[in-house]
Copies of this chain bind each other. A is one copy, B any other.
Amino acid sequence: MADLSKLSLDVKSDTPLYRQLADSITRLISDGTIQSGDRLPPTRELAIQLGLNRTTVAAAYANLEEAGLIRGHVGRGSFVAGPLPRSIAMGSHDNWEAILPPPEVAISSAMPAASISFASSRPSADAFPLEQFRRMSKEVIDSPEAAEILQLGPTHGYQPLRRFLMAQAMDAGVARPGDDLIITNGCQQGLDLLARIFVSNKTPVAIEDPVYHGLVRVFARAGAELLPVPVDQDGLNVEALEETLERHRPRLLIVTPSFQNPTGATLTLERRKRVVSLARRYGVVLVENDIYTELRYRGQPLPALKELDESGNTILLRSYSKVLFPGLRVGWTIAPRAVVGRLADAKQISDLHSDQLSQAVLLRFTESGELQKHVEKTRVAGEKKLQAALGACKRCLPRGTSFTTPEGGLNLWIELPAPLTSDLLLTRVQERGVNFLPGRHFSAHGAHARGLRISFGGLAPDQIRRGIEILGECAKRELAFNEASSDHEAAAVLV
């Protein structure tokens, strides 16, 4: 355990205490006093040693974690990550860590099991049309095509599914004659392939902020310079977007126009038009990550950016994962032919082609109309969930909290009042069996310490209400505790 009890902090300084603490620990790491693998004291313990409020210590740790200097493991504590040795130990692999890239903070494994988990943006399991799945899978398996499905397939995807999706997209006006379509292992692979063909070292890429963590990871790993553009209740802020385009001239702009993850926000029609025209004016490659669009529970459907873009150059990503079985990894990308050709090159290198059995089953689901039936049922259930979530937020969250009011999708976003951080709130609600993902997971630069995502799509209305109630109770208690103890903190003796 690293000894941090001798850290000196200055209560009179303008620099907040949590920042001072984070800076002091950073110095200890950089001068080698504490080293890679060292465990930091639990927040409660360090708070007592230093005479600080525990919120302050937790904020400092969150800050260090965002900076990549420490890694938190729920249940095991926080550890110094430390710089990686740049040279390779050629003589031996006894220490693989020396030649491997640093581990990612795997969100799923860091989250303890919870009875009410708002942590995963996924559809509800009990709503799955399992019987239809069984029937249709058997039809596929018994069909003469089964033999072909078991052979190596084309990189672009299972031909009958590809043709079907393309025809559907043409009818809907989201594909044009110059377009082509490639099937991917969910949209995650679509994003990954786009990163492979468009991003190299320091390629500027404009993304939403907050944004889906899987998207940040793809582009960060590919070496992009990420340019966050704020998202508000009406989606991407177009003034901020224009400024970013003008100043940084990004190569790519990635937008989730409908029921964005994590905010649930939807771009208004006016903003959609503006995003498309800005993209064209600045020659940025516009990527429309449109996986939630079918899940509208209220209000009027809006045209896709791809539909509004007369140039035909928007790249559209869609998927079955959010409306049907997420375990069957089938998404698709519609884009100008030249782009799809290069995506196929990259996919061939990645994994040759996607699994054909799942593609064939999903085609049958779509063609038979069962998918549409299921989507309609999901919308009815979704509206009840959304209502439960918004109602509970209004009723239970402490004053000063704000939250988005989505019209569909699986997620909404909460901003806690200062000084409460979502990391601290998470440790509290976990003790009561509730989980969520804190805001920092949705930032390219470790921001959103007060934000948190509520993924309500996988839960029943009662669970949603109960979970948000617990959230509200814990938040109120922490805020009250903080107010009571703030005098104490100011008076603490620091050595």
Contacts and interface: CB of A to CB of B under 8 A. Distances in A.
A196 B99 CA distance: 13
A99 B329 CA distance: 29
A81 to B, nearest CB: 14
A90 B282 contact: yes
Contacts of A342: 100-101, 103
Contact of A325 (B150, B192, B344): B150
A146 B130 contact: yes
B99 A328 contact: no
Contact of A283 (B93, B130, B155, B313): B93
A122 interface: yes
Interface stretch (A47-55, A352-360, A433-441): A352-360
A128 interface: yes
Query: How many copies altogether?
Result: 2
A191 to B, nearest CB: 9
Given A249-B90, A358-B358, A352 B96 contact: no
Contact of A328 (B150, B192, B313, B345): B150
A141 B137 contact: yes
A352 B338 contact: no
Contacts of A185: 185, 350-352, 354-355
A128 B150 contact: yes
A88 interface: yes
A290 B133 CA distance: 35
A149 interface: yes
A329 B352 contact: yes
A327 B283 contact: no
A351 B108 CA distance: 15
B133 A327 contact: no
A153 interface: yes
A364 interface: no
A137 B355 CA distance: 14
B353 A355 contact: no
B96 A338 contact: yes
A311 interface: yes
A147 B128 contact: yes
B327 A99 contact: no
A476 B344 CA distance: 39
A401 interface: no
Contact of A100 (B88, B150, B338, B357): B338
A368 interface: no
Given A188-B352, A351-B329, A134 B152 contact: no
B355 A328 contact: yes
Contact of A96 (B106, B339, B345): B339
A234 to B, nearest CB: 27
B151 A349 contact: no
A341 interface: yes
B355 A99 contact: no
Interface in A172-228: 184-186, 188-189, 192, 196-198, 214, 217-218, 221
Given A133-B141, A345-B106, A152 B338 contact: no
Contacts of A184: 351
Contact of A349 (B92, B130, B214, B358): B214
B311 A329 contact: no
Contacts of A345: 101, 103-104, 106
A113 interface: no
A31 interface: no
Interface in A112-155: 120, 122, 125, 128, 130, 133-134, 137-138, 141-142, 146-155
A97 interface: yes
A150 B134 contact: no
Contacts of A358: 355, 357-358
Contacts of A91: 283
5 contacts: A96-B336, A130-B146, A130-B150, A328-B355, A328-B356
Query: What 10 pairs between A and B have smallest CB-CB spacing?
Result: A185-B351, A150-B325, A96-B338, A90-B283, A104-B345, A355-B355, A189-B351, A152-B326, A150-B327, A93-B313
Given A134-B141, A150-B325, A351-B351, 16 more contacts: A88-B283, A90-B282, A91-B283, A93-B311, A96-B338, A96-B339, A122-B151, A133-B150, A137-B141, A138-B138, A148-B327, A196-B221, A214-B348, A327-B356, A329-B351, A358-B358
